Each structure stands twice: as structure tokens, then as C-alpha cells.
Structure 1
Amino acid sequence: MNLQYACLECLLKQACATAKLQNHALEQDVLEAVSAVFENLEYFKIPLRDSSSLSTLDIKDKVKLQGKLSKFFLKKGIALSGDFEIPPTLLAVLVYEKIAEILDNASPYSEIKTKSIAQARAYKKDFMQSLEKKLKQGISPKEILEYAVRICVLGNVIDYGAQCSFDLKAESKKILQAHFAHFALESFMKKLENAKQMVFIGDNAGENEFDEILIFALKALYPTLKIFYFVRGAEIINDITLKDLKNSDSALFKICKVIDSGVLSPGFIESLANVEAKEIYKKADVILAKGMGNFESMEWHAKRDERVFLLFKIKCNVVRDYLKKIWVILCFSPHF
């Protein structure tokens, strides 16, 4: 999904919220630093609440941001060449580095991530017991997988970057009856029939606990399937990293191969991945990307790569309007 003007306002709000987590006194400094990234954009001064705020970047503004991003990533040894697209998650890398510099803290969400994982782990126990019971009862693979997918997407309510509140307890009561706008479970299962390798791209800290349930179900139904779980390559918002999983003694290490993707953005962008992750991604028979950030980064590729499935909850107006869907909705499909 390409960057829209409304996404810039969202990034500014995220910047302020992040500053408040650590030091209210630095909020204005953070806001000014992030605003400076957009200051030379021709149309950024248009009131963002106007209908025009939902439009995609003007070509002149896109070129300006491409130039800034190219210079920024080149310093990190990553070449972004040509007329590359700019999903919101790509620009977020530059924005959050500015925030980290002013706060002098690369992980302002560290404490929140630890609490999110602990909370999710407590809720996970009952769901895991229910899954194990279903497996013993000989319920059909389709029913088992649907249950696991629904519990997996439950974790997607845990998101501090989306600027919306969430109630894990309340969501857990609704998830089994929740409506999916697109629910390509049969297509997903068909892909899995002959699959040897699968890439599961994680999203936020805490979600990983519910991802375990789906991976556990997949291993039970497809015992020869090798699953790689991709995490972010650096701290950004509350996204899950290898360090988070190690510090919390995650069970994921026991049921799949965890891979540090090297990706710096809050959404998987293949061009930002390290060599190991790129090679695994290329060889995968099935790719499941979890969360709205991964949707924003991978939607274009999902339409062109039949291996890719996107599982997420819509949590912002821009994505809702882009997909022309109602507010709270779950999506699980390679096509929209």
C-alpha cells in the first residue's frame, strides 16, 4: 500500500505518543524533528482532515521523499534504486530513528513489550488447551485450522503503532464468531498440501504468543512442514525482535526456526531483509504475513505472488478506506 498524506499525520501522532512514554518535556522536540522530514513537501500543508488527505502522494512529493529515503538507507548499506514505492512502513524507519535520537533510547516500548508478552501468554494457555483437545477429538483439519487462525489473529489487537486502544479480554470473547471480509482458508490449506517450507512473518510483541497456537496446529496437521518465523531486525515501535523472544523464553524456538529478518521497518520489505532471510523467503512454498504493518508493506506483492497470505485486523481509517471496508474487520486472503 502506497503512502498517503493521512499517513504523515499518523506518523506525527505516533511520534508524540512515543515521546510521552518516556519524557513529556521532549514531545515538542520530537514533533519538530519529525515534522522537518515532511517540511518541504508541496502538499503537506493542506489540512490533513480534508478529503484530500486520503490521496496518494503527489509525484513531486514522492520524488522528494524517495531522495531522503535513498540517502538515509544508503548510509546503512542498503541501496533503494529506481522509482521505488513508499509504503508507510518504509518511511517509519526514518521517523523512528529521529525519535530514538532525541529520546536517546532505541527501545522506548521495551517495558510495554514485556508486559504485552506476559499478558498474552496468560491468555494463551486456555486457547492452547482447547486446541489440544480438538486435536485429540479428531475434529476435521479445516475446523482445527480455522480455530487456530482465529486465535492467531486475536493477537493482532496488540498494536501501539496503530494509535487505537485495545482490550485483549473483550476481543478474546468475540474472536470465534468474528466476521472475515476475506477468509481464504481453503486456498491456504491447498497451498499447504504439498508445501515443504513456510515463512511466517511476525508482527508485534505479544502477538507471538498467539502465533504459537497456529504454528502448533500447522505442525500437528502438516508434520513434515518446516516453518521459519521471521522477526524484525531492529527495535521499532512494539514490533517483535529476536531479543524479545529470547528474553521471554519463547516456546517458538521449540516448534519452528526463528529468523532475524534484518528488516528495520514495522512491516516486511524484502529489499531490506538480510541475505539469510531473502534466501529463505525465496525458497518458501507458503508465506503468511501477520498484521497491518505487513499488509501495508506486502499488499502489492501479495496480489502478484500466490504464495503470500495476509492475516490482519484493520486498525486505521486509511487502510479501511483503501480497502473500502467497514471499521473493525479481519482479513485473511492473498487478494483484495
Structure 2
Amino acid sequence: MKIDLRCIPCNLSSLLRILDVNNAGEEEKKQVVRTFLKEVAEMDWSDTPIDIGRKVGEALEPLFGNHDAFRDVKRLSNRSLMEIYDDLKEELLKLDDPLLGALKLSVAGNIIDVAPGHKIDIHKTMKDALSRPFAIDDLEELAQRIRSTDSLLIVGDNCGEAVLDKLLLELSGVPNSYFSVRTIPALNDITMREALEIGMDEVATIIDSGADAPGAQEKTMQRGFFDVYSRADVVISKGQGNLEGLSSAKREIFFLLMAKCDVIGGFLGVPKGSFVAYRKAESRG
């Protein structure tokens, strides 16, 4: 997936949001934005939107270093979902097909409302996840593949949502399960720190993907992760950022996400707001 001009204002908005969260001064904001825009103007337009996201991090680094601007947001998201983890598991086990339900719930993690003082309605969450139609629906095929596979990799995305990925991994029971995290903080994406806090290591081997931006890319994968990624029988990619970075990958990948913007919707040929479970076939050559 290549850069769309609409990705520039989107990333600029993310940059400004990070600056506001960290109470940056007006002159600091101007300097960071100036650096970002200068770097973006010199980019190769055949790059992916992830490469613009990397420019956000690079522009912020002189001011904040590796400071995790969304640390509190990530902790709240994870804690809110972990509080109902056992209840969600109990509800899934009542279904005729708990694995299929867990897959749907994993996608629905994109839209679960997490805010201070907000208590998640378990029954509404389950109902919404199970009843919402998918614009692209390869879930049945994915479920069948998981049931017969020996190795499964989930390329992780956001905190909160990752708790539901943990539940999916637990119910799948795949002997060799892996879950990948970002190398450094990127927006509200999950890193090793948060993965360990939610006990992801209880259901899978946590592995650093090498991603230094809000999405995985083959060109940035660490060797150990690339070996797992290449050999895994089934790879699930979560969220928009990972789709942006892995849509041109040669191997087969199942993309699970909500199309949250017109750029992604247009790329997939679905309306904005759609749930998607898309199997990208292995490409040759």
C-alpha cells in the first residue's frame, strides 16, 4: 500500500495530539511540525503510510526522546478489558463456535469504548461483536485453518484490543503461538511492556517485531521475528497500520481490522467503518 496524500494531514493530526498530550509549548510545536513537514516533503511517494508515521516519531525524538506519550491511555485500555476477561471467556464458551466468536470479538476490539469511569457492558460488547456483518468475511476459513494448524502468529496492534487477542490465543489452543509487539512506543500500540502486564506470555511467545512506527513492515523486521513470520502456518495481522505495512507482503496473511478511514476503505473496496477479515493469498515472484 502506497502513500495517499490524505495520510499526511492524518499523521499531522496525530503529531499535534501527541504534542498537546505532553503539554509542549507553542514554539516547540512549531519546530516539531516544521521538521515533520520538511521530512515528508522529501519522501519517496512509493513508500507506505507507515513511513510517514515513522517521520512523526523522528520529528518528536529531539523533544521527547523515547517517552511513551500514551502510556496512561494504554494502561487504562488494558486494565478495562482485563477486568472483564474471565466474563468474556465464559460468554464465548457458551457459543456453538467459541473460536469464531473470539475472532469476531478480536476485531471488535477496535471500537470498544474505553474511558475513565466507563464500565464496559459485557453483553452489549458480545452482541455487537457477534451480530455485526463483515464487508469482507474470510473468518470461517481462518477458523478452520487455526483448528488444524501447529503454529500461529498474531501481529499485534493496539492496547485494549490486545487483551482480546490474548483471549483468542487462549481459546485457539495452537501449540506454537506467537504475539508480536512494537519495538518502541508508537501511539497506543502495544509494546513488550504492556504485553507482559496483561500476561500475554501465558498464552503465547511474545516477540519484538522490530517495528519503530505504528505498523509492521518486512523491511524493518528483526531477524528472529522474520524467521517466525516466515515459518508460521497462519499469520494474523491486526489493525490498519499493519495492513498498510504488510499489504504487499509475499506470504499469505489474514488481515483483521475495522476500516476507520476512507483511504483504507478505498484500498479494500469497502465503506468506511466496515469490519474486515481479509485473506491475502501468497504471491509468487
Could you list the runs of 5+ residues in structure 2 that have no partner in the other structure?
none
Greater CA deviation, 233-242 or 182-191?
182-191
The whole-number CA distance in structure 2 between the counterparts of 1:271 and 1:335 is 19
Is 1:31 paired with 2:33?
yes
2:47 aligned partner: 86
Amino acid in the other structure paired with 2:207: I
How many residues were matched structurally? 273
Amino acid in the other structure paired with 2:102: A
1:100/1:107 contact within 8 Å kept: no
2:48/2:244 contact within 8 Å kept: yes
2:247 aligned partner: 299
Q: CA deviation at 1:157?
A: 2.7
Higher helix fraction: Structure 1 or Structure 2? 1
Q: 1:288 to 1:189 in 2, by over 3 A?
A: same
1:274 aligned partner: 222
Which secondary structure does the structure 2 equivalent of 1:205 belong to? coil
Amino acid in the other structure paired with 2:166: E
Q: CA deviation at 1:283?
A: 1.0
1:70 aligned partner: none
1:187 aligned partner: 141
Q: CA deviation at 1:104?
A: 4.6
2:110/2:161 contact within 8 Å kept: yes
Which secondary structure does the structure 1 equivalent of 2:135 belong to? strand
1:244 aligned partner: 194
1:258 aligned partner: 206
**Per-residue CA distance 1:296-328 (angstroms, 9 max, x = gap):** 111222xx533x100000111211223232221
The whole-number CA distance in structure 2 between the counterparts of 1:206 and 1:35 is 31
The whole-number CA distance in structure 1 between the counterparts of 2:258 and 2:64 is 30
Q: 1:154 to 1:189 in 2, by over 3 A?
A: closer
1:87-102 equivalences under 5 Å are 87-102=48-63
Which secondary structure does the structure 2 equivalent of 1:334 belong to? strand
Structure 1 length-normalised TM: 0.74
Identity of aligned residues (%): 23
Q: CA deviation at 1:126?
A: 2.0
Q: 1:104 to 1:300 in 2, by over 3 A?
A: closer
2:105 aligned partner: 151
1:234 aligned partner: 184
Q: CA deviation at 1:294?
A: 0.8
Larger Rg: 1
**Per-residue CA distance 1:163-184 (angstroms, 9 max, x = gap):** xxxx965765522211101111
1:89/1:267 contact within 8 Å kept: yes
Which secondary structure does the structure 2 equivalent of 1:199 belong to? strand
Q: CA deviation at 1:158?
A: 6.5
Greater CA deviation, 273-282 or 170-179?
170-179
1:11 aligned partner: 11
Structure 2 length-normalised TM: 0.87
Q: 1:235 to 1:117 in 2, by over 3 A?
A: same
1:317 aligned partner: 262
2:211/2:221 contact within 8 Å kept: yes
The whole-number CA distance in structure 2 between the counterparts of 1:106 and 1:99 is 9
Q: CA deviation at 1:335?
A: 4.0
1:215/1:255 contact within 8 Å kept: yes
2:16/2:29 contact within 8 Å kept: yes
The whole-number CA distance in structure 1 between the counterparts of 2:78 and 2:183 is 18
The whole-number CA distance in structure 1 between the counterparts of 2:65 and 2:219 is 28
1:2-151 equivalences under 5 Å are 2-25=2-25, 26-38=28-40, 41=41, 64-66=42-44, 85-104=46-65, 106-134=67-95, 139=96, 143-151=97-105
Which secondary structure does the structure 2 equivalent of 1:156 belong to? coil
The whole-number CA distance in structure 2 between the counterparts of 1:15 and 1:327 is 23
Q: CA deviation at 1:159?
A: 10
The whole-number CA distance in structure 1 between the counterparts of 2:228 and 2:100 is 26
1:313/1:330 contact within 8 Å kept: yes
1:295/1:310 contact within 8 Å kept: yes
1:326 aligned partner: 271
Q: CA deviation at 1:270?
A: 1.7
Greater CA deviation, 209-218 or 150-159?
150-159
Q: 1:215 to 1:263 in 2, by over 3 A?
A: same
